[in-house]
Each structure stands twice: as structure tokens, then as C-alpha cells.
Chain A
Amino acid sequence: MRKLPKSWPADQATTSKAAIAHESAQKQVTGEAVYVDDIPEWPNQLHVATGQSTIAHGNIRRIDLSAVRSAPGVVDVIVQQDIPGDPDISPVFTGDLLLAGEQVNYIGQPIFAVAATSFRAAQQAVALAEIELEPLQPRLTAEDALAHEDFVLATHSIAMGDVEAALANAPNRLQKSMSIRGQEHFYLEGQISLAVPQEDGGMHVFSSSQHPSEVQKLVAHVLGVPLNLVTAEVRRMGGGFGGKESQSAALACMAAVFAARNQRPVKYRMPRKDDMVQTGKRHDFWNQYDVGFSEDGRILGARMILAGKCGCTADLSDGIVDRAMFHADNAYSLNAAEITGYRCRTNTVSNTAFRGFGGPKSMVTTEATIETIAHRLGLDALDVRKRNLYCAEQDETPYGQKVEQHVLPELIEQLESQSDYRARRQAVKQFNNACRWQKKGLALTPVKFGISFTSKHLNQAGALVHIFLDGSVMVNHGGTEMGQGLFTKVAQIVARGLGISVSRIRPSATRTDKVPNTAPTAASAGTDMNGMAALDAVNKIKSALFEFAGEHYRVPVADISLKDDCLWLKDRTIPFEELVKIAYMNRIPLWSSGFYKTPKIGYDRSTGKGRPFYYFSNGAAVSEVVVDMLTGEYKVIRVDILHDVGHSLNPAIDIGQIEGGFIQGMGWLTTEELLWDEHGRIISNSPANYKIPTAHDVPEIFNVALFDRPNTEETAYHSKAVGEPPLMLAISVWCALLDACASVSEYAFTPDLNAPATPEQVLNAIQAAQAYNAEQSANTEESC
């Protein structure tokens, strides 16, 4: 059999690699696209609501649900003991309980659940419960947990070189600590699942989830049935961003328990007011850096302590804090480093995956450090950055992986020139000298983001490609569609592989009974993995077809190809439909499964060394801001982005990911302030007080371009992952705000600026810089 290359050369000027629209765009603009809440309801369908803990930590003394049971419309009420199987629905470790047992560990934790004939009846009923809780002292901050060594998981460290000596011998040294707040996902479609009982005690679950295989597994566990009785199905999500990786399972499990008990379809739609309280968010971090650097700004050594506020359970925090550690270098060679990650336990909702998965938290601190070094040395921060970038001479990361594709030095040069960085730096200085009431800031920051799950076993994917007898094609794989365009890209990959137009290809809902044992759609690796699995299926089908065609038409297999919807033989073409029919009549398989596992990767946790990432995606952004000196309000004036997606599979979708990720990251670092009160109650609990960006917040000038160099690794048509990396381009906005605040003291002083940099935080930083100025002039007067 002919051995086919893994990737085809990009030689076909067809829609298969063009900027075509999202496969669901037409349905979405007309309102026809079906989300879980839009599935027609059964007449006997039930709706779920939960009764929640009102304290952050305590023992459950007494639960009286009699009034709940007798409320209008209530059909069933359950507590933990009513769960037939295992009530623990943790994704990796233990401790995430579907319903609380003896103890509550955060405000909002579900204690009991109700199924009623309507959504409203269920919500009204839960308010009638009488629950007696004995309060215990809660732990609410990462700092507190760190001080008491209260962790959900063991501490992990990575190290390179002799940090102690490097720091001791460095001509310059700075210590910096920084608190960075979390982020609410605010997917527009809230968490939701619908469970429909099947024969043999089975369950079909429609879920808005990034991880259908885990939904399947956990539903089977709570029901106490084998996995082959449960099917999880996800057609599309109304946004995920990591928030539906582990968090969606609870809704599926709850709906399934009620569906099994009552043998009726059950929907659990979480209203926004519950979703913002009950589901995990991006981790808060408390970071402490100790950095030594040379007179020209070269980092000589760094000790970094990263403390993630994990909440009350582990959830996915191990990988998240690991990824924060792996990205503490961002794009810079640290020479010597010791990086320690703590997984702090708090009596708050268990924090979870969010686009960037820990990476942004260390990277923003690293970039803040670079700004500070530049201020100390009187250098432009861009020059400090360029001096420290990984390059051929300095290519080793603290975890032992070598950076092989040195994309950033050239990318940054190009962006610096295209964005007119140097001239604008001068213009910013002139503006700041001339304008008393407003100050501008400018910053260029890079992103280097590792692609692959750091848990090696998750780096596998499966796909199914079916060619039907009319020449139409269906593709199915383990990846889920949350708006990121995965289904569109995989359809384009299949079209390109088969040499047919994309319009022939229909992506179908992700289902655990089609492709089993799948990884979550996460880590930006959806297209890399599922696209390659689909290509594997395509290649198997093509091999069989070419072998058959070679014999049938008596042509050497080497002279056969598929392109432009035809089979090309030496001297003639066969239309694709005809080929399909002839092949079928000759009993040639027209469908195949495909499989992919990411090569080369492996990380040894015991040594803290290895290759956790297949490759790195890169990018850089220049942001310019203007700040009001009287109020701390600000505006992002201009942003220029140059981003590395390898060879783009679909430039429109890639640019959509870059712009969307950037604005989401900008929200995290500017207006989105996640706040708890002193009792551990989240007070940014609704869109009325948690403010994600609106259209007005988009920069006046927003230039986004693709760097367009092929990935040198064997990925789908040499593309690169794009989901998460652009979020961290927004660190340039935060750095520009810091730059504007530091300009108040002529950069002689770096004020603290917490993240997010709300107008209040910016005004605090401005006032700190003004206080520094006042102190300096007082000192000068004294010395005179």
C-alpha cells in the first residue's frame, strides 16, 4: 500500500484553506442554531434547581426539606445520600461533591436539589428549605493559605542552574510581589444539561461541555452503571473558554440522577445568578519574584514563587499551577531559575480552567518585572525584552525543553517597525510633557505559549470520516465546538485531504458513542489533535481508494491524485461522485476511523525536566493607552498585533481568535474585577457589577496580522494552535497602563499596579508616583 504523507502540500487554491465563514454562521444569525436549551421539551420534562450554602465553611447540622417537597410543582428532592452511585465528581483528584455531605466549603455549594415541573417552580421551591449550619473559620485568600501551608495538592518546583549564586552576584536585584485577580468566564450561554433516560437503565445526556467523555464517565459513576450505558452529546456551546471543561459535569450528573429516579427527561439550566456563584473561575494568584539582572538589563537569575488560589478542591489546579510555572519565563531566557508553585486551599468555589490555564498569571508578573528593570536602568522596556528573548545562543527553558523555533526575534522586529514603535515612544514622551491632565503609555509585549496538554495521556484524539454514496461526507471527532471554529477547520482539513470542496462536508455533533475516550477540547490543541486524527482517517480512505483505482484503471498509484472534486488519473479525471459509486460497487471501504497522538512530548515530574510541549505559538502586541490623571479612567487608543499561527488553516477564524482572545484578556486586566467580601461571598456576582468589555472598549485602531511562517513540526498543514495564546497579548495593555503611571515620576519609580488595573487601581498608582515625586523634592530641599 502506498504510504501517504501526513500533511498535503498547500497547493490547492480552494475554499479548503480559505477564510470561509464558520460552519454555523448562517444558522446563528437566523436563530436556527440549536443550543441545549432550544431542544424541544417533553411534556413530562422536569427542571432542576439547587439549595446552596450561605456560609463559606461549616458543618451541616440539620436539613428540613418538608416545605420544599410540598411546594407547587415539585416532583423530587434529593440530598447526597440519594445519589445511587459515587457522589464525588472530581475530574482528576477527589473532593468535588455533586451535593455536600456533612460539611460545606464555599458559599453557593449545593446542599440539596429539586426537580419540578417548571424552571420557576424549582427555583421558588429551593428558597423554602430550612438548613442549620454550624459555622467554622473559613480561609479566604491565597496569602492566608500560604502562611498556614494549607494546600489542596503538593507543592512542585522546577530549577535550572545555581540561582542563589546568580542572585548574589548580580549587579542589580529587585524583589516584586503582585496580586492578580481571577476572571469570570461569562460564556453567554450559561451551564446547561439535559438528561433523557434510555432503555436498559441508560442515559442520553445533551450537555454544553468541552469534555463529553468526562461527562459520560461521571454520569455513569453517579448512576452506578457502566460507561456503555451513557452517551454524552455536544453539538455546540455558546462559549466555553475553559469554564465548561470540568464544570459542566455537575449539571449533567444532577440531571441524570433525577432522570434515572423519575424516568423522565430532566433539564438543569443554571441561571446566570447561580452560574456566577457556583462555578469555578480563573485562579487568583499571589506571586513573589526575586530577580537579578545586569547593567544592560539581561536577567541573570530569578526565584519565582507562584501561589494559586485553588478554592476548596483540586479540580484542574495541578495542571493550572504547573502551566503558570512553565510560563513564568514567558519568552525570556532566565539563565538560572527556581520556580515554585503552590496550590492554595481556600473556602471559595473551586477555581478551574480558563483560556491560558495559569499561563497568564505568571506572564503578567514577568512582564511587570521587565518594565521595572527598564525603569531601574533607564532603558526602553522593549530593549530589555529583546535582550532577554530566547534565541539560538540562549534557548533552554527552566524545565529543560529547548526552544527550537526562534520566531519571536524576527516577529518583534517586524512589529516594532510596522507599528512605528520608536516614533510613537517619542510622541508619547512629548504628549506627556505637554499634557498635565492626561498621560499616555506604550508597551510592546511578546507571548510564547506551549502547546500540548501537560498531562501526556490527554494528547490523543480520534476521528471518523464517512463518505456517503452521493459523494457527501460526514466528519466526527472528539473535539467540541464552542465557537472557536474547530468544526470549520477540521472540515477544511478533510476537504483539503480529499481534494473536494468544503461544501460537501458536514460536521456532526460530538458524541461519546461515535469517538470514545476523548480528551477535553482545551489547551488550544483542538485542531492540532482532531485535525490530524481526521487526516489519518482521510489517508486511510485515500490509500484504499488509490490502490483500488490503480488496479481498476490500470494506472500506477503514484500517478493518481484527488483534487478539484475529481480523481485524477494520468490522462483523465473521474468525478468524485462517480468514484464513490464505483468504489462502493467494488466493495472498497468509504469510511474510516483515524487516530493521533502528539509525538515527542514527555515531562518527568520527579526531575522537573522534559518536553511538556510539542512546540510554542508566538505573538506580540503593541498597545497605547491614555490615562486621566484626575480619575484614573483610561482608553486604549491603538493596538497592533502580529501573531504566529504557522500556516493559517483559515485566516478569518484565526484572526477571530486573536482579536477575541485579546479583548477577553484586556477585560481580565482592566474592567473585570472579581471580588469577594470578608465572609467569602462573591460580590461581583452579576453582569451588573462584573463588567466584561463592550464594543466601545475596542481600540480606535486595531491592526491584527498573521506572521505566516510554517510550523516546522508536523502539524495539520503546518498550522499552529491559536485558542489561548492571544489572550496574553493583552498584557501589553496592562504594561502600557503601568508605563503611563510611571511617566508621572519620569520612570524613576515603578508604582505598584494590581491586576485588573481598574480606574481605581490606576489612580492609586498615579498617586503613588506623585507621592514619590513629593518625597524626592522634599529630600532635595532638605539636602540644599
Chain B
Amino acid sequence: MKFVLNQELVTVELEDASTTVLSYLRTQKRSVGTKEGCASGDCGACTCLVGELEKDTVNYHTINSCITPLGAIAGKHLVTVEHLAQEQIHPVQAAMVKYHGSQCGFCTPGFVMSLTAFHNALFTNADITHQQPTREDVSSAVAGNLCRCTGYRPILDAGMAACQSPAPQLHNSEVRHWLENLDALDDTPYYAPQTLAEWSELKSAFPAARAIAGGTDLMLEVTQHYRDIPQLIDVTQIRELRVFDLTDKKLVLGAGLSYTQLAERCSSVFPALTAFMPRLASPQIRNRGTLGGNIANASPIADTPPILLAMDATIELNNAAYQRRTLPLDEFYLGYKQTQLAKNELLVSVRIPVAALTHFHRFYKVSKRYEDDISAVMGAFRFHIENGVFKEARIAYGGVAATPLRVKSAEAALIDQTMDNENALANALQNLADTLEPLSDVRASAGYRLTIAMNLLRKAWLEANGEHLPDLHTTAYSGEVGYA
């Protein structure tokens, strides 16, 4: 396989499909500026940039190189910290020094890369005017980077200050030429079919191969359990999995779209999903992780399935014989980590009825930490209200059972009741208490989970009734009384 590493065209004989970008860099290439902090995509010390040619520009995004298979960057531009300081130090690096953004320095290359991606997008992306970013923008850009020394304030200052200086190009014409002409994957055990038909062929040719999308969960088998995965079929480039389509009936979301891509494309048609995205993992993970992966992985604590359940989503599956079927997501989950997905099937897309998008809906996530944490409870609610009466209600949760689920008995308690009927709410809450069987684990106790599940329904009900419950994390309290 071929790709560009900084300023060098690289050809690698990939022996093991699960070789990570980080192990390639540190062990094979002996390029050690990129650090390993956790090997699980949680700390960001290993952050690198991946540049992809899209139309006329090379767009760069961050990845956790520790859990990104090398095969996934075939044909792309991999940028590491060593590349940034060319004739002079990069503005982000200079600002990190000037504002005392590094102490022990081990997380620093990762922060520099995340800030560089932000800085680069600010100056090269035509959609973004060259306005001064807010502190929240910079903070969000480093949401996937942990620092244990500084307390972050100087890093945010550095990020703000760096945006005063223009971004140097991350590639020259030679790199661009390579990217335009790279025939990336050939004869490797990492396959990237472009169509469902190609996928079918590969699936029959290599029955033992595992499917990989973002790999943000699968690759933990490699880095945490030291399993070897000899062959991988990357499904994210399959055309049918990359659709994004809005008709007057439904919104179709390709299963292979990354969270970042979803957030961008849904901003006007499904803004609540876009607004929710900062709560889902970190930027690096959102750049790799896919909607399909989140659904098919069948984790009871996944964040998007409750949302999709509340929105009455259906899913489209294809098998290797190229046969297609659709089913409501509500019927997909059978038990803990068990789904209707057959061994030879692939999740292709998710369809959301457009009508649901017009109804009142709220998505709440409760976790110990605001950013990049796994839900204790995820609650998603949709109410179709006509003339002050609930015509339709959807109450869906993650984190309260072996699968993501709708609580239909609680929904039924609200249907045809006036929206401000507190008795109906009390019945629905009682239904939750009777139905849900959450577990106690490292994230929360069963009792807390049940309380939260009930309180989140109450919160959605209050909001539907026009009560103002300010969002803790997006409200600027410091503008209030008592502040000079």
C-alpha cells in the first residue's frame, strides 16, 4: 500500500491488516514524536492528521493513530508533529511555547496536532470566515486530548493566539500530485471495496475477514487484548454506505458516514443531532467512528441508537448475495450484543421519517464527565403533540437494559392525554420504574440510572410544556449578577 508520510511517498508491504498507524510510526519507521498514552483512543497523545483530497482541497482531520489501522490511510497524507516545523516553527507550536502550554510535554505533540487541524481548517476552509474563534471552539478542538499537568488554560490561550497567524500549507505541490495519482491499496490484507458488489465478492473470497468501519471499538481487540486480525474489509468507502439523502418522506443516512460528516450534513435538516455530537466521543473518534458501527456494535450504552429509536428509524441491510431488507431499528436488537444482523449481512443505511423531525424532540446524555465519556444513561424523547394532546410519544434509552430500547408502556401512558396532565406523566414514570432493569457498574449504580431515566423523561415533559430548564453546559452563567 502507498501513502504520503509528511513529505515522503511511502510504500509498505502490509503483513498484518491490524497494524496501527502508531506502531508503524514508532516501531517500523522509528519516528517517535508521536506518543502512546493509552493505546485505546482516549487520551489523544498519539494524534496525527490525515489529509484527503476532496474536490480541489486537501482536507485534514485528526485521528487517534493508536487505533487507526495503517490500511485506512492508504492513498492519503499522514501528517505527524515532525512535519510542522519546516523553515520556521508552526504558529501553533510557537504559541504553545509562548503561552506555557507544555509542562511534562508528553501530551504536547497530540495537542499541537489537534490545534493545527483546527488552525488549518480556519484558514483553508472556504466555509469558515477568518473570524477570531471563540474559546469554546478551541476547547472543542482539543476535547479528545488529555493533559494532566497544565489545567488546560494556557493551551486554550495558545490555541486562541495561534489563530492570529496564517496557516502554512501542510502539503506542497509534489504531495498534492501524489495524492491525485496514488493507486493506494494493492495486494494487502486490508481491503476497501468501493461498491456493495465488490464487498460481496470480497466477503465470499475471504470469509474469515472481519468488517471494519471506523474501527474505534474493533481495534481495541488489537491494542488492549493483543489479538491479531489478519484480514480486514473496510466498508466505509462503499458508495451505498456513503449516501446522504433527504426526500419529502425520509432522511437517509449512510451507515459509513463518520460522526463528523453526519454532524456537518445534518446541521440544517436535523440540528438536534448536530448539537448533540460534541457529547459523543472526541473529535478524533468522531472523525473515524460511523453511525453504522454505533448501531451494529449493539452496545447497550451506545449514544445514537436511543436517538434513532425515538425518531422511528428503520435500517437497511444487505447480504453478500446482494439481497436487501429493511426493518425498524426497534426490532433490530435481540439481547445483549445480539442483533438481527446475519453473518453475511451489512448495515447500509438508516432512514428517519421526515415527519418525526418536525415533532418536539430532546436528547439528553448523563455521564460523569461532559466530554468524551460513555453514558450512564442516554435518554431520547419525541412527542407528537396536536391541540395540546400527545398523539405519539417515543421514550428511548441507553444504559438501562441489555440493549438500547423504547419503553412502550411508558409511551402508552402519555398517548391521547393532554400534554400538561401530571397524572399521565406520573403513570409513565411508574411504568419506567416497573420496566427498566439497569445494572450497577463503574459508571453508575442501578438506582441512580433508574432515577435519571425517570428525571430525564420529566425534564423532556417539562420542556414540552414550555418550562425553561437551562442547559448546564451551554449556558454562560458568568454573565449573571455579581460579576464585574
Determine the chain A residues whose CB is within 8 A of the CB of B108 once the complex forms: 28-29
Residue picked from B89, B102, B444, most chain A C-beta under 10 Å: B102
User: A22-B100, A31-B34, A637-B477 given as contacts; is B147 within 8 A of A664 (CB)?
Assistant: no
- Say yes or no: is A33 at the interface (Cβ < 8 Å to chain B): yes
CB closest chain-B residue, reference A652: B100
Question: Does B149 contact A239, Cβ atoms closer than 8 Å?
Answer: yes
- CA distance in complex: A777, B290 (Å): 52
Question: Does B42 contact A687, Cβ atoms closer than 8 Å?
Answer: yes
Residue picked from B98, B364, B481, most chain A C-beta under 10 Å: B481
Residue picked from A21, A423, A635, A688, most chain B C-beta under 10 Å: A688
CB closest chain-B residue, reference A239: B104
- CA distance in complex: A698, B478 (Å): 13
- CA distance in complex: A726, B45 (Å): 25
B480 partner, pick from A29, A187, A273, A431, beta carbons under 8 A: A431
User: A25-B100, A239-B106, A695-B143 given as contacts; is B37 within 8 A of A660 (CB)?
Assistant: no
Question: Does A663 contact B152, Cβ atoms closer than 8 Å?
Answer: yes
User: A29-B102, A31-B33 given as contacts; is B143 within 8 A of A696 (CB)?
Assistant: yes
Stretch at the interface among B153-161, B172-180, B240-248, B256-264: B153-161
Q: Which residues in chain B, 444-484, are within 8 Å of chain A measured between CB atoms?
A: 444-445, 448, 451-452, 455-456, 458-459, 469-470, 472-473, 476-478, 480-484
- CA distance in complex: A325, B374 (Å): 37
Question: Does A25 contact B38, Cβ atoms closer than 8 Å?
Answer: no
- Say yes or no: is B85 at the interface (Cβ < 8 Å to chain A): yes
Q: Which residues in chain B, 161-179, are within 8 Å of chain A measured between CB atoms?
A: none
CB closest chain-B residue, reference A758: B368
Determine the chain B residues whose CB is within 8 A of the CB of A240 once the complex forms: 104
CB closest chain-B residue, reference A421: B482
- Say yes or no: is B343 at the interface (Cβ < 8 Å to chain A): no
| A677 smallest CB distance to B (angstroms) | 9
CB closest chain-B residue, reference A635: B472
Question: Does B481 contact A427, Cβ atoms closer than 8 Å?
Answer: yes
- Say yes or no: is B32 at the interface (Cβ < 8 Å to chain A): yes
- Say yes or no: is A177 at the interface (Cβ < 8 Å to chain B): no
Determine the chain A residues whose CB is within 8 A of the CB of B452 once the complex forms: 631, 763
Determine the chain A residues whose CB is within 8 A of the CB of B422 once the complex forms: none
- CA distance in complex: A652, B84 (Å): 26
- Say yes or no: is A700 at the interface (Cβ < 8 Å to chain B): yes
User: A630-B459, A692-B148, A701-B478 given as contacts; is B369 within 8 A of A671 (CB)?
Assistant: yes
- Say yes or no: is A485 at the interface (Cβ < 8 Å to chain B): yes
- Say yes or no: is B82 at the interface (Cβ < 8 Å to chain A): yes
Determine the chain A residues whose CB is within 8 A of the CB of B80 once the complex forms: 31
User: A29-B89, A420-B482, A635-B473 given as contacts; is B374 within 8 A of A689 (CB)?
Assistant: yes
- CA distance in complex: A124, B477 (Å): 51
- Say yes or no: is A416 at the interface (Cβ < 8 Å to chain B): no
User: A630-B455, A686-B38 given as contacts; is B150 within 8 A of A692 (CB)?
Assistant: no
Determine the chain B residues whose CB is within 8 A of the CB of A468 once the complex forms: none
**What band does the interface of chain B fall in when counting residues whose beta carbon is under 8 Å from A?**
35 or more
CB closest chain-A residue, reference B38: A272
Question: Does B142 contact A695, Cβ atoms closer than 8 Å?
Answer: yes
User: A238-B35, A241-B148, A660-B150 given as contacts; is B444 within 8 A of A760 (CB)?
Assistant: yes
- CA distance in complex: A34, B35 (Å): 11
- Say yes or no: is B151 at the interface (Cβ < 8 Å to chain A): yes
Determine the chain B residues whose CB is within 8 A of the CB of A24 once the complex forms: 102, 105
Determine the chain B residues whose CB is within 8 A of the CB of A124 once the complex forms: 226
- CA distance in complex: A420, B139 (Å): 27
- Say yes or no: is B54 at the interface (Cβ < 8 Å to chain A): no
Question: Does A188 contact B107, Cβ atoms closer than 8 Å?
Answer: yes
Question: Does B100 contact A188, Cβ atoms closer than 8 Å?
Answer: no
CB closest chain-A residue, reference B368: A671
- Say yes or no: is A69 at the interface (Cβ < 8 Å to chain B): no
Determine the chain B residues whose CB is within 8 A of the CB of A420 once the complex forms: 482-484
- CA distance in complex: A512, B61 (Å): 44
Determine the chain B residues whose CB is within 8 A of the CB of A656 once the complex forms: 100, 103, 149-151, 154
- Say yes or no: is B224 at the interface (Cβ < 8 Å to chain A): yes
Determine the chain B residues whose CB is within 8 A of the CB of A426 once the complex forms: 482
Interface 1/0s, chain B 339-366, versus A by CB < 8 A?
A: 0000000000000000000000000101
| A184 smallest CB distance to B (angstroms) | 10
Q: Which residues in chain A, 297-337, are within 8 Å of chain B measured between CB atoms?
A: none
User: A187-B148, A694-B146, A695-B143 given as contacts; is B369 within 8 A of A700 (CB)?
Assistant: no
| B445 smallest CB distance to A (angstroms) | 7
- CA distance in complex: A38, B468 (Å): 54
- Say yes or no: is A48 at the interface (Cβ < 8 Å to chain B): no
Residue picked from A19, A664, A760, most chain B C-beta under 10 Å: A760
Interface 1/0s, chain B 19-44, versus A by CB < 8 A?
A: 00000001100101111111110110
- Say yes or no: is B307 at the interface (Cβ < 8 Å to chain A): no
- Say yes or no: is A365 at the interface (Cβ < 8 Å to chain B): no
Interface 1/0s, chain A 652-696, versus B by CB < 8 A?
A: 110110011111100000010101000000011011110111111
- Say yes or no: is B97 at the interface (Cβ < 8 Å to chain A): yes
Question: Does B81 contact A271, Cβ atoms closer than 8 Å?
Answer: no
- Say yes or no: is A712 at the interface (Cβ < 8 Å to chain B): no
- Say yes or no: is B376 at the interface (Cβ < 8 Å to chain A): yes
Question: Does B455 contact A659, Cβ atoms closer than 8 Å?
Answer: no
Question: Does B103 contact A483, Cβ atoms closer than 8 Å?
Answer: yes
Determine the chain B residues whose CB is within 8 A of the CB of A653 once the complex forms: 100
Determine the chain A residues whose CB is within 8 A of the CB of B42 once the complex forms: 686-688
- CA distance in complex: A24, B89 (Å): 15
Interface 1/0s, chain B 399-428, versus A by CB < 8 A?
A: 000000000000000000000000000000
Question: Does A696 contact B103, Cβ atoms closer than 8 Å?
Answer: no
- CA distance in complex: A765, B396 (Å): 27
A120 partner, pick from B138, B226, B472, beta carbons under 8 A: B226
Interface 1/0s, chain A 436-474, versus B by CB < 8 A?
A: 011010000000000000000000000000000000000
A660 partner, pick from B85, B139, B151, B443, beta carbons under 8 A: B151
- CA distance in complex: A426, B482 (Å): 8
CB closest chain-B residue, reference A653: B100
- Say yes or no: is A32 at the interface (Cβ < 8 Å to chain B): yes
Question: Does A626 contact B477, Cβ atoms closer than 8 Å?
Answer: yes
- Say yes or no: is A237 at the interface (Cβ < 8 Å to chain B): yes
- CA distance in complex: A648, B48 (Å): 37
- Say yes or no: is B93 at the interface (Cβ < 8 Å to chain A): yes
Question: Does B442 contact A760, Cβ atoms closer than 8 Å?
Answer: no
Question: Does A663 contact B368, Cβ atoms closer than 8 Å?
Answer: no
Question: Does B100 contact A21, Cβ atoms closer than 8 Å?
Answer: yes
- Say yes or no: is A424 at the interface (Cβ < 8 Å to chain B): yes
Determine the chain A residues whose CB is within 8 A of the CB of B456 once the complex forms: 630-631
Determine the chain A residues whose CB is within 8 A of the CB of B106 once the complex forms: 35, 187-189, 238-239, 483
- Say yes or no: is A86 at the interface (Cβ < 8 Å to chain B): no
- CA distance in complex: A27, B101 (Å): 13
- CA distance in complex: A758, B368 (Å): 6
A33 partner, pick from B26, B105, B112, B481, beta carbons under 8 A: B105
Determine the chain B residues whose CB is within 8 A of the CB of A626 once the complex forms: 472, 477
B139 partner, pick from A21, A25, A41, A696, beta carbons under 8 A: A696
- Say yes or no: is B373 at the interface (Cβ < 8 Å to chain A): yes
- CA distance in complex: A30, B34 (Å): 10
CB closest chain-B residue, reference A628: B472
- CA distance in complex: A288, B184 (Å): 66
Interface 1/0s, chain A 692-727, versus B by CB < 8 A?
A: 111111101110000000000000000000000000
A-B pairs with the 3 shortest C-beta distances?
Answer: A31-B33, A483-B104, A238-B106
15 pairs from A and B in contact (CB 8 Å cutoff): A26-B97, A188-B43, A188-B107, A189-B104, A420-B483, A631-B455, A633-B472, A683-B441, A683-B442, A686-B38, A687-B43, A694-B146, A694-B371, A698-B156, A759-B376
Q: Which residues of B contact A (CB under 8 A)?
A: 26-27, 30, 32-40, 42-43, 45, 80-82, 84-85, 89, 92-93, 96-98, 100-109, 112, 138-140, 142-143, 145-156, 224, 226, 364, 366-374, 376, 441-445, 448, 451-452, 455-456, 458-459, 469-470, 472-473, 476-478, 480-484
> Apart from A694-B369, A695-B142, what 12 extra A-B contacts exist at CB < 8 Å?
A22-B100, A29-B96, A31-B82, A37-B26, A240-B104, A426-B482, A484-B149, A630-B459, A652-B100, A692-B146, A698-B151, A763-B452
